[in-house]
Amino acid sequence: MENHPPASRWPEYEPPISPIRQALDRRFLRALDACVSFFGRHWLALVNLALFLYLAVPFLAPLFMLAGLPGLAQVIYGVYYPLCHQLPYRSFFIGGANPVYNYADLWPLLDQSFPPESHRWFIGNPTLGYKIALCQRDLAIYGAMLLAGLIFALVRRRYRPPDWRLTLVITVLLTVPMAVDGLTQLVGLRESVWQLRLLTGGLFGLAWVWLLYPYIEAGARQVHEPPGQ
């Protein structure tokens, strides 16, 4: 039978927390509480502002190209490169003959020796104009979210989310068109058109606002408003 040493009769010593450490902890907790409270009160304004900036900056890329500032334009194209495919035949153009070009229009200008993914590097020319750094579908998605967010700001105090099952059904119904349009285009069954990309992307953006914003608002209100207020 193993013999274990007897447990110590004295509690383990814990050094006292210094007053400076206590003061820093209190300040940190107050700052954290202030940040959470600030976000609870202003989350919608912050989200709408973020969406506005996310949408506005890509428009600066073609404007910088037209103004003779290609370096600034390339920075914007590069920043949005991981966020969007930026294919020219699925993007809007500014400053050229047309705002939209299909694959057949751009085919002579695209290097066919490389896969289609490389076509994203074509940003335009003085004749065609220069593409916006977000594709048509992404512009529709985030534009619809921004518009719906602004409308939600007007009704947020009076709006109550419906039953979660109805919310889920409507979200799915608004999401399916983009899924079908994007998937059939991705596998090469068909090529979508800009009008359909805008419509399905807009419905998808509305679906996310319908699904998330009322519940975020309810949770944020619990954070910054005392019970019973």
Q: What is the pLDDT of residues 114-163, one digit of tens each?
A: 777 789 999 999 999 999 999 999 999 999 999 999 999 998 888 777 78
pLDDT digits (tens, 9 = 90+) for 170-196: 899 999 999 999 999 888 888 899 999
Provide the whole-model pTM.
Answer: 0.82
What is the pLDDT, as a whole number, of residue 166? Answer: 86
Q: How far apart are CA 15 and CA 178, in angstroms?
A: 61
The residue-averaged pLDDT of 61-80 equals 97
Q: Which of 107, 121, 215, 105 is nearest to 168 (CA)?
A: 215
Q: What is the CA radius of gyration of the chain?
A: 26
Report the mean per-residue pLDDT for the chain.
Answer: 87
Residue environment code for 116-142, b if the CB has 16+ CB neighbours within 10 A, otherwise e: eeebbebbbeeebbbbbbbbbbbbbbb
pLDDT of residue 13: 58
pLDDT score of 40? 74
